[in-house]
């Protein structure tokens, strides 16, 4: 089998590229995806989001090595193994990232990826329901909405932020990210609006797009040119040939793994694993970054939280309403208020993110608090810690070795302690007086730096935003893996386009910038002129040098 373009991975970037590369009908596209169908309530029902992430049917089942700075804990690293990739198992939170994130990319060697360059792609991909006029797209494939925010706690949280002296924002994906406001979701008509629904299904209706269900083992490279992908399907090994290009969009974990299995990576590491070196790229698998977060949980004095909906009868009623009407508590991810704030004076754009939830419950749906509660997920945005993804062996079926090296930089501890104390300050505001009971977690006894550090060591979790392992940069940068056109440096006809190419993690959740990467990469692959740059100026707090609010 052969196609003009062979894409490995049907996730956030892969599906977007399949849609754009096949749009004019000139080229054929084959998308290789190992996972199966996304049909079924566990994926399509937004409130069921804790299930697919914990199901081996839909998730690759990766975990980190014992993390040395977190007491040797192994942290789960979910990645989607299903049509739509991680956009089919994520929390459906939609955050573009801050303008300065992309300006930093451009300054670090990813020329043509500044905010002015990427904003037109964010607009092209979106169909925004309720965003700031002029800053948002309104006719793209990706539906983005705000939650109903029926629960008074959503408004009380935003008001508490305002009372604490912070900004409020009408649209953190518009001109002003900084502040407290409504959170956006990739949900449409009560269903998860993954890239499978937004991009892949429409693309598969075209004659020139094929979905191949198989396991990608390696890229076939002849005379320094990628010519196809070796896959296993139905127990047989075969090659899908690429007439023009092979594009890897297999996630920040599987993309570097596939490059290394194909002979592209740090030469010594490849040789140790008995792999012939095709291109010595020391940066492959390095520069791994993520966001971490903790839950600050507070008891609610009023019985208005989701903790009352966790019984079997309530769940059955919610499920029935969603099944028949695609409405009610099943039709939201329940993350409906958010905040992006700066941690101290001298920082010019937000470096702390909040997800607010009117329940006291873990992300995996376990350990609900007794009685009623609410919580904020909080974490610093720009950790200085860096990790790696490496091979265990040359066996493609073996899971790679993932070490995030979380909290290995002393600043991470300082930043996180501040985030915990700041959350307590926000929760102590008058707007939450009618609701606030005792602190459930960490608990009022946790006060000193040492006590907070112990709490973090035991309870800090990944926000599931891994990226950076195939860094984009200048062609002469030895640590870069792809150039600003997403071409793998030193190999013809091979590109990587997904969150692995991010030079540095963006502010917030990574689904939106991953889709944008697929959208922009498609224009590079097709040799088109990029969309005209934007001249819109984002809002930067005029007090940034003197105050955190």
User: DSSP string covering 412-479, please?
Assistant: HHHHHHHHHHHHHHHHTSGGGTTTEEEEEES-TT--SHHHHHHHHHHH-EE-S--B-TT-B--TT-TT
**What pLDDT sits at residue 67?**
98
Which of the 8 DSSP states describes residue 398?
S
Structure tokens at 26: 């000139």
**What pLDDT sits at residue 90?**
98
Which residues are catalytic, by number? Answer: 465
Report pLDDT digits (tens) over 6-60. Answer: 999 999 999 999 999 999 999 999 999 999 999 999 999 999 999 999 999 999 9
454 Cβ contact partners less than 8 Å away, ≥ 6 residues apart: 446
> Can you tell me whether residue 92 is helix, strand or coil?
coil
Q: Which residues fall in the annotated binding site for FAD?
A: 4-33, 82, 90-93
**What pLDDT sits at residue 302?**
96
- Alpha helix stretches (DSSP H) within 216-289: 251-261, 267-272
**What pLDDT sits at residue 365?**
64
Please tell me if the domain spanning 1-140+188-285+468-541 has the same topology as the one spanning 148-182+292-380+408-459. no
Domain ranges of the chain: 1-140+188-285+468-541, 148-182+292-380+408-459
Fold assignment, 1-140+188-285+468-541:
FAD/NAD(P)-binding domain (3.50.50)
Determine contact, residues 437/299, Cβ cutoff 8 Å.
yes
**What pLDDT sits at residue 364?**
66
The list of the chain residues with pLDDT below 70 reads 363-368
Helix (H), strand (E) at residue 338: strand 337-341
**What pLDDT sits at residue 249?**
99
Q: 0.85 cut: is pTM over it?
A: yes
Q: Which residues fall in the annotated binding site?
A: 4-33, 82, 90-93
Provide Rg for the chain, Cα atoms.
22
Fold assignment, 148-182+292-380+408-459:
Cholesterol Oxidase; domain 2 (3.30.410)
């Amino acid at each position: 089998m052969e196609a003009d373009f062979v894409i490995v991975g049907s996730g956030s970037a892969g599906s977007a590229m399949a849609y754009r590369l096949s749009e004019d009908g000139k080229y054929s596209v084959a998308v290789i995806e190992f996972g199966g169908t996304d049909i079924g309530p566990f994926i399509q029902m937004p409130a069921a989001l804790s299930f697919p992430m914990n199901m081996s049917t839909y998730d690759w089942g990766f975990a980190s090595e014992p993390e040395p700075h977190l007491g040797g804990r192994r942290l789960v690293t979910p990645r989607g193994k299903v049509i739509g990739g991680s956009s089919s198992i994520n929390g459906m939170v939609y955050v573009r990232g801050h303008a300065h994130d992309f300006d930093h990319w451009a300054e670090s060697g990813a020329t043509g990826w500044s905010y002015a360059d990427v904003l037109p792609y964010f607009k092209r991909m979106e169909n925004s329901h309720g965003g700031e006029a002029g800053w948002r797209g309104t006719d793209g494939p990706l539906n983005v909405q705000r939650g109903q925010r029926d629960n008074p706690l959503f408004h009380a949280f935003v008001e508490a932020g305002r009372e604490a002296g912070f900004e409020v924002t009408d649209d953190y994906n518009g001109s002003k990210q900084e502040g407290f406001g409504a959170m956006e979701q990739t949900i449409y008509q009560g269903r998860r609006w993954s890239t499978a629904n937004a991009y892949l299904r429409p693309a598969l209706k075209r004659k020139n797009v094929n979905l191949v269900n198989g396991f990608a083992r390696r890229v076939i490279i002849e005379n320094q040119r990628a010519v196809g992908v070796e896959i296993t399907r139905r127990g047989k090994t075969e090659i899908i040939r690429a007439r023009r290009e092979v594009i890897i969009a297999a996630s920040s974990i599987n993309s570097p793994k596939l490059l290394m299995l194909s002979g592209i990576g740090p030469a010594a590491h490849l040789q140790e694993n008995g792999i012939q070196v095709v291109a010595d790229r020391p940066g492959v698998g390095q520069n791994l970054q993520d966001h971490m977060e903790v839950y600050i949980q507070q008891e609610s004095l009023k019985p208005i939280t989701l903790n009352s909906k966790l019984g079997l009868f309530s769940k059955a009623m919610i499920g029935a309403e969603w099944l028949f009407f695609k409405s009610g508590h099943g039709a939201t991810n329940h993350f409906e208020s958010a905040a992006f704030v700066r941690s101290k004076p001298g920082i010019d754009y937000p470096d702390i993110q909040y997800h607010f939830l009117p329940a006291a419950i873990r992300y995996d749906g376990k350990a609900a608090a007794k009685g009623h509660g609410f919580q904020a997920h909080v974490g610093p945005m720009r950790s200085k810690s860096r990790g790696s993804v490496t091979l265990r062996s040359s066996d493609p079926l073996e899971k790679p070795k993932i070490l995030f090296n979380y909290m290995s930089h002393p600043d991470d501890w300082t930043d996180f302690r501040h985030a915990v104390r700041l959350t307590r300050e926000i929760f102590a505001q008058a707007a939450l007086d009618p609701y606030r009971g005792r602190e459930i977690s960490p608990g009022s006894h946790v006060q000193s730096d040492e006590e907070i550090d112990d709490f973090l060591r035991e309870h800090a979790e990944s926000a599931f935003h891994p990226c950076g392992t195939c860094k984009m940069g200048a062609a002469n940068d030895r640590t870069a893996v792809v150039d600003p056109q997403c071409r793998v440096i030193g190999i013809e006809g091979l590109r990587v386009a997904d969150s692995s190419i991010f030079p540095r993690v963006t502010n917030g959740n990574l689904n939106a910038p991953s889709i944008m990467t697929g959208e922009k990469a498609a224009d590079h692959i097709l040799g088109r002129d990029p969309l005209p740059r934007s001249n819109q100026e984002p809002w930067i707090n005029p007090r940034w040098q003197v105050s955190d609010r």
